[in-house]
Amino acid sequence: MSVKISLTLPDGTIKEFDREITPLEVAQGIGARLAQASIAAKLNGKLIDIRSMISESGAFEIVTMKSPESPEVYRHSLAHIMAEAVLKMFPDAQFGIGPIIDNGFYYDFLLSRSLTPEDLKTIETEMNQIISRKEKFDYKLLDRNEALEMFKKLNQPFKLELINDLPDQKLSVYSQGAFVDLCRGPHLPDSGFAKHFKLLNIAGAYWRGDEKRPMLQRIYAAAFATKEELDAHLNMLEEAKKRDHRKLGRELDLFSIHEEVGPGLVFWHPRGARIRHIIESFWKEQHYRNGYELLNTPHIGRSWLWETSGHLDCYRDIMYSPMKIDEFDYYIKPMNCPFHIMIYKNQIRSYRDLPLRWAELGTVYRYEKSGVLHGLMRVRGFTQDDAHIICTPDQIENEILEALRFSLKLWRAFGFEKIEAYLATRPEKAVGELSRWEQAIASLKRAVDKEGIPCKIDEGGGAFYGPKIDLKVKDAIGREWQMTTIQFDFNLSERFDMNFIGVDGQKHRPYMVHRALLGSLERFFGVLLEHHSGSMPLWLSPVQLSVLPILEKHVEYSRKIEQYFRQNGVRTTIDDKNDKINTKIRNAQLMKVPFMLVIGDNEVESGKITVRMRNGENLTMIDAEAFFKDQEWKKETI
């Protein structure tokens, strides 16, 4: 039976074929140079192997190393190349999974001994030899039983488990050199295409994330299409090490975490607590200015609350075990929203009462596995920058726009300018009327468009209870952090039977929006610390000015200067210890104090001050009052 295949190229050209054909053959028909550069193809939006058989018509595109899709192909191929190198070093190795990740890939292994940093160098050397040999990636499609038999002979129990979990009756495997892997692909034509990589570090990872399963060794790697991209990424990683908030937290005496007390629980030291107080005070002031009211709610609630909200059904794994109080089960709160709803239901609400904008810096507790805890970024107890907007359907669009504008202003106030939006739409399984979803998505999209910020659509990526906007900010070294969320919720208003009395005197269901601008204060603090490399802007610095008398005879005048700035609201210290002035300056620089006032004979005699800035610049013999008035010691508004 003859086969008719019609492929539409990106420029609109249509290629007709009367038989099944491979992407490589299509590329060869277009041109020799394209065929030589081909690493994979796209058919109807799906990546396929360059050697696979095309049996259906559709939109077709050749993928090269310059294509946006190429990282998925070459990073996955490099994971297999690394696995082959590990197999040579450990012939009895058992292989877990090796997916791609942002900027690279990883692979999990069960090995006979622990890997060392020196082992990574050996594995890298072997990988480069594999690349130089230009080993072909061979593709086969096997019946389920054939695949099971193959990996049973290879003594790969993890692969057998994966096969048994797959519904497919036909499974693809790829091999190169001595290595064979269960894989959908696609992969590079040969190993010679993948050249620019670096093995980064080793970590432990439980098989399938289950603490009761074997602990595997995970090798992380970076991989890029060009040497320039790889070098830039490695330089960024080096800079990130210097900016690591855990390192800065120790050096600047901001916070600590004590394993003997409990992992993932943060202790705020005086300097860190001072910065946090400044952030919280600014946050509260700006919320009042933007029409919000602030709430405070309990830390625990009876099980009824969490059963009604659905948290016990959906989030039990992250909630801590209940405590018995008066024969009732109480849970420590993982979220604030049910408490805000209870305040709403405390009285009958009219359309005249809406919108309600209620915000809370509410401390919540969630169970995170020990392996994912990471400084301030992943903790078990944190304070959520939380708010809920409850409004009528005709108010929703303006409320979303104002929430987005507020968020953008807040981020810019903290020094973040590069911000991108991600709009997540209705998934297949969702609650709430379709018309409400459509209105909500349209409101989110119009708000993003009006603010003119870049936006990507995440089709079907919304939660089952509503669409959302996520804002991602880029820090000073180009890393992207997901922070703000503006999330519709069509679920809780139904579960708690929330109503308002409309113009018609009848009950109506309000719209409810969860809104977190900064996320958690702990994670925000970590991102902020790394963004500024510990050198906080003047208005956020725990100590804004340090007075440094050179000798004992300069202390009296120095104390008068300290008192002047302190009484004017400047966070000021004096270093009157019996140290040399260079030591005092160095100590203040290590603590990243923005301004150091060096006081000696000339300053005392003239009644002036000499200012040494954090960047090393000096202002000599200036008036203290004039200097005070020239600086933005406090951020008043946004």
Active site residues: 337, 366, 384, 386, 388, 468, 514
d(CA 105, CA 72): 9
Residue 510 to residue 522: CA distance in whole angstroms: 32
What gap in Å lies between CA 239 and CA 236, rounded to an integer? 5
Phi and psi at 560, nearest 5°, equal: -65, -40
CA dist 196 and 77 (Å) reads: 12
Strands 419-424 and 468-474, by their bridges, are antiparallel
Residue 523 CB partners (closer than 8 Å, separation 6+): 376, 377, 378, 379, 382, 483
Nearest in space to 513 (alpha carbons), one of 371, 616, 429, 399 = 399
Which DSSP state fits 114? -
Find, among 443, 449, 456, 528, the residue nearest to 486 by Cα. 443
Q: How many residues does the chain have?
A: 638
User: Residue 206: what residue type?
Assistant: Y
Over the range 323-359, which residues count as b (16 or more CB within 10 Å of their CB) and which as e?
eeeeeeebbbbbbbbbbbbeebeeeebebeebbbbbb
- Shortest CA distance to 531 belongs to which of 276, 271, 236, 240? 240
Q: What is the DSSP letter of 272?
A: H
Amino acid at 107: Y
Q: Of 76, 82, 74, nearest to 179 (Cα)?
A: 82
Instruction: Give the tokens for residue 363.
Output: 């401390």
Q: How far apart are CA 96 and CA 453, in angstroms?
A: 40
Q: How far is CA 358 from CA 388, 492, 496, 499, in A?
A: 5, 16, 17, 17
CA pair distance 515, 530, nearest whole angstrom: 24
Distance, CA of 638 to CA of 290 (rounded, Å): 10
Q: Is the dihedral of CA 205, 206, 210, 212 positive or negative?
A: negative
d(CA 586, CA 628): 23
Question: Which phi and psi angles does 379 have, rounded to 5°?
Answer: -130, 175
Backbone angles phi, psi at 9, to 5 degrees: -80, 165
* Termini Cα distance of the chain: 71
